[in-house]
Each structure stands twice: as C-alpha cells, then as structure tokens.
Amino acid sequence: MRNAETMSPNDPTPDAFPQPPHDDEEAFTALTQRHRRELLVHCYRMLGSLHDAEDAVQETLLRAWRYRGGADQGVSLRPWLYRVATNVCLDAIGRDGRRQALAAKAAAGTLRRDGGELEEVSCLEPLPDALFEPTAPRHSEPEAALLTRETIELSFLTVIQLLTPQQRAALILRDLLGWSAKETAELLEISVAAANSALQRARETLRERFPARRPEWPPEVDASAAERELLERYVAAGERADLGALADLIREDASFRMPPYPGIWLGREAMIRGWAEAGFGSESFGRLRCVTTRANLQPAVACYVLHAGDTQYRAMAIDVLRIEEGRIAEIVTFGGGVFASFGLPATLVDGGEGKE
C-alpha cells in the first residue's frame, strides 16, 4: 500500500526526541500534540472504535511522558510514539472480553465465512472526517498515505478487526507505516519469522474477505456532483419514507448492518424488506429529517426522527454509505450516540435549527 522507505521508524526527522533531562512537561506536550491526530487514526485502526481510540491516545501521551527517560538514545519521537500507542492498543484489546472472544475465533479459524462474520465486529464506530480534514497533509508528506480511503473506510476497518491483534498490528506497521520485519518483531516481542507469518496471514485474510472495489463512478462523470445528487435523492427518499425510491439508489448485491447489533442484511431485497418490517414510513415510526455529513472519507447521512406528539426531531442514526458504480453498495448505520462526535445537535426544531 505504501513505499516503506517513507515511514521507516529510523528515518531522520526534525521531530527529534528531547534529550535528557527533558523534564519540561509543557515543551514535551507541545511536541507530542503534533502527532495526536495521526495517533488517533492509528489507534482507531487497531481498535475500530473512536471512543476507545481517543482513550488510547490519551493513555499513549501519558505513558510517553511517564516513560520518556526509557527511550533509546537518538530515537525519533514520532516512531517512538507509534510504539507506545501500539502497545496501549494491544493492552486495551487484552482487557476487553468482546475483542478477546473475537481474537480467539480468529486464531482458531472459526469465524463465519458467509458474510455473517461481519456482525462479530460489535465495537465498530464511525470516524468523522472533520477530525482529520483541517490538518490533512499534502500528498508529499509522510502522513498523507495514512488517510487514504482504502485504509480508513468502514469495510476495511471491519475486516482488520477480524484479524488476531498480532496480525492486525503487523499489517498496520508493515503495510501502512512501512516498518521493517525486524522493527515489527521487536515491538511485538516475537521472532522475525513470526512477524512475517503474522503479516502473511493478515494479507491472506484481506484478500479473502476484502473484495476488489468497483469504481464509485464512471471516469467521465464529475464524481463530486454525482455524489451530491445521489445524497440529495437519498435524503429526499428518506424524508418521504419512499422505499421504492431508496431501492432505486441501492445495488442489488448491497449490504446493511447496524453495529453493535447483530445481524447483516445481504441484498437490496432483504434490506428493503427489513426496513418495511421495522415500520419505516408508518405513523409509529415517525417522520425523518436528514442532514448530510462525512465519515471515514465516505458520504454519510444523519437522520433525525419526529414522533407523533413530539415537537422536536431527535437524533436517531447516522448512515455511512459506500458507493460502487453510481449506486449504494453498503450502508452501515450507527445509533444517535455518535452524533456528538460529528458536532451534530441532539435535536432539530421544526424549523430545522439545531437545539441541544
């Protein structure tokens, strides 16, 4: 996925690690804060959850300050922070029963292979684009490749959660950060042969479970305008509760899931039938008002619902969409609890103004 030379942890960098006595906490914090956003992306890939990733970054920075004296002489700060962050994430996985159960299934090779295994990833949360867009690097900068859609979209994030923690770390360190087998083995405290084996198994799982992507739009199409039009149609159909219009926007082989709830609906017919059975469009379900946003470098729609007798539209769900060949190929829906991360209000009054 990357040129390994651009991200080697031994590359010279102006961001040198402070030398002893380096007891100026304010100066140390200023240096580490420069890497907060990219560390958040790294921890998010490892854990699949924004809230858990934010906690992991905070713990990373605390450990970095606490153990700053133990850094190897001459080490650069940035790769050292990645080492600390990776270990924080591995510790977090080890403390989490859900993740441990998933890791045990992955290690034993007992995960389902019929598409239903995706429901095993119950900790998944969306990552708002706004968290990294304001400081998105130029393509010539090392951090740029960390934010490509290929390695941040929800389908990729889901699949790598189906790897063992060791395989996941090896894949991210080697293929995304460009670390060598020796450097990866040292961090994971395993042999180089074991590190290479972990990477090979991770790549095999990706090839098996992460299908080749069809293009979003034909090359002659203005992608921005086409996406905007599709979102407008999606919003209009949702607000009208028009299942037929929604069906026109969805690929026949599309999928739908709602982490952390179990279950995955495979195929447009199953999706539409499931929404109808859930009461979509009925008086008891309520009326929708939708707001467009973005998550994981993908288009998304935040849905508010107005129930009978209520005076406010209340946060209900955010749909993150993946597009292939001009139609929606996947919808991953998250509950109203994620609205705050997107800077979205909890309610909308009848005139459309936000109100907390």
Residues 28 and 150 in one domain: yes
Residues 191 and 264 in one domain: no
pLDDT tens digits for 226-263?
999 999 999 999 999 999 999 999 999 999 999 988 88
pLDDT tens digits for 18-28?
554 456 788 88
Whether 114 is covered by a domain: the verdict is yes
Residues 228 and 169 in one domain: no
CA angle, 79 then 81 then 84, to 5°: 115
pLDDT tens digits for 191-231?
999 999 999 999 998 888 887 778 999 999 999 999 999 99
Whether 217 is covered by a domain: the verdict is no
Residues 65 and 21 in one domain: yes
Whether 215 is covered by a domain: the verdict is no
CA dihedral 70, 75, 80, 83 (to 10 degrees): -80
d(CA 109, CA 201) in angstroms, rounded, equals 11
Residues 262 and 162 in one domain: no
Whether 247 is covered by a domain: the verdict is yes
CA 123 to chain centre: 11
Q: Higher confidence at residue 31 or residue 179?
A: 179
Domain final residue, candidates 148, 181, 209: 209
**Token pair of 226, please?**
């086409």
Residues 197 and 241 in one domain: no
Q: What is the pLDDT of residue 128?
A: 96
d(CA 219, CA 221) in angstroms, rounded, equals 6
Q: Higher confidence at residue 24 or residue 355?
A: 24
* Residue 306, domain CATH: 3.10.450.50
Whether 303 is covered by a domain: the verdict is yes
Print the domain residue range for 312. Answer: 223-355
Domain final residue, candidates 174, 209, 244: 209
Asked whether the whole model's pTM tops 0.85, one would answer yes
9 residue type, one letter:
P
CA dihedral 211, 1, 139, 87 (to 10 degrees): 110
Identify whether the C-beta of residue 304 lies closer than 8 Å to the C-beta of residue 352. Answer: no
